[in-house]
Amino acid sequence: MGGVSEADVSEDVRAWLDQQWDPDRPLVEWRKLLAGSGWAVPSWPTRWHGRDLASWADRIVADEIRDAGAVGPPLGAGMNLAAPTLVTHGSDDLNDRMLLPTITGAVSWTQLFSEPGAGSDLAGLRTSAVRDGDEWIVNGQKVWNTSAHHADFAMLVARTDWGAPKHEGISYFVLPMKQPGVEARPILQMNGHSSFNEVFLTDARIPAANLVGDSGDGWRIARTTLMHERTFSTLRRPQIPPGVGRALEEAAAENAEHFATYAWYPQRAGRADLVIDRAVRHGRATDPLVRQVIAELVSFQRASEWTASRARAARSLDRPPGPEGSLGKLAASEVARRSARVHAAIAGADAMLSAVDGDADASVIAEVLVSTPAQSIAGGTDEIQHNIIGENVLGLPREPSVDRGVPFRDVVRGAG
């Protein structure tokens, strides 16, 4: 829609909210109304519950919904990863079935990408999908799958052509999770949480209509999901507007359930927000070595925020997520590592203890030290991000590969 300004969008959505927002509606019913108006995700096509507006409209509308004391679409992998991928690559039939219940929160999602032998080298995955009439039959194992134990659907990549090179024989599916042959087992992490699962697929079935894009085009589609994952690598907890009413109560309960899974994510990011106050309270603010590492951390963090701002600016200009997501991902990993080192410098050996007399934050700091390594792994390791930046930003030649162009079945055989 050419010529539409931010002020126009704000005025239009504000007028609509004044007429339609009712906190006593059931939450799903409210979100159906929101989707029907096109204001749930205004940058999406009108065919898929949007308004064909530029990407900046999403931020404007989200702010207006919050200021009106209303509730927007749900959080999580559905709206952040699955839905944007389907809007870009899904068939009309699949999008008709999946997008609206994702917007309303009627269904939840997980991501089945990584495998025990295919994490950083995701294209080396061995989970197989074989066509059987109007269905695909899936066998294999996935790992590090957040919320898989209660998800309704999964974004799944599986190998459908073992005779093609490894990047070309992969397909992308929407897998119904609640069926025989899908078993999710929680993984106990060293920080005591169990956010992730390993998922075993034994003759699990997927309707043929749940193939996203074309068979064999899964790697390209998966990269869309991964770019969105890196864009949303920072987890921010929105505040449910104050007030009473069924929609608000149900949204608050939904938020609490969602963030129970991610309770340790702020610690994974390093808790840089705590370092200055802790240095003062522990009498380390005048230590020149501690002051130096704090200054290095804060300056690096602010520089990384500029990179994130550039990424947001690119999205506001309707540019798709790109390599800048890898820059932000690398910066987040470095902030986490530096924060952990600063916390250790402030607390000394006490940083290893989850309870210290007179230190209310001791358990948080101990959790930081055992959680920050995950920041450099989730969403693609630092090494993978370096490759993406080198090839797509710096124009360096591709990393040498002995299996490029080789049928994947020969690669597997050659690996013993």
What pLDDT score was predicted for residue 341?
A: 95
- The average pLDDT across 54-69 equals 92
Question: Mean pLDDT across the chain, nearest whole number?
Answer: 90
Q: pLDDT of 167-192, one tens digit each? A: 999 999 999 999 999 999 999 999 99
- The average pLDDT across 87-99 equals 97
Q: 51 and 73 share a domain?
A: yes
Q: pLDDT of 359-387, one tens digit each? A: 888 899 999 999 999 999 887 889 988 99
Q: Which domain holds residue 141?
A: 109-216
Is 416 contained in some domain? no
How far is it, in rounded angstroms, from Cα 173 to Cα 151?
15
Q: 60 and 151 share a domain?
A: no
- The average pLDDT across 7-33 equals 96
* Long-range contacts from 272-275, C-beta under 8 angstroms, 24+ separation: 272/297, 272/298, 272/301, 272/335, 272/338, 272/339, 272/342, 274/343, 274/361, 274/364, 274/365, 275/339, 275/342, 275/343, 275/346
Is 115 contained in some domain? yes
In the chain, % of residues over pLDDT 70: 94
pTM to 2 decimal places: 0.85
What pLDDT score was predicted for residue 235?
A: 47
Q: 80 and 142 share a domain?
A: no
Hey, which residues are catalytic here? 229
What pLDDT score was predicted for residue 234?
A: 45
Q: 121 and 75 share a domain?
A: no
Domain count, the chain: 3
- The average pLDDT across 244-265 equals 88
* Long-range contacts from 16-25, C-beta under 8 angstroms, 24+ separation: 17/64, 17/65, 17/68, 17/70, 18/68, 21/68, 21/69, 21/70, 22/245, 22/247, 23/69, 23/70, 23/243, 23/244, 23/245, 23/246, 23/247, 23/248, 24/245, 24/246, 24/247, 25/245, 25/246, 25/247
Q: String of b and e for 116-130 (b: at least 16 CB within 10 Å)?
A: eebbeebbbbbbbbe
- Domain CATH code at residue 24: 1.10.540
Q: pLDDT of 195-205, one tens digit each? A: 899 999 999 99
What pLDDT score was predicted for residue 416?
A: 40
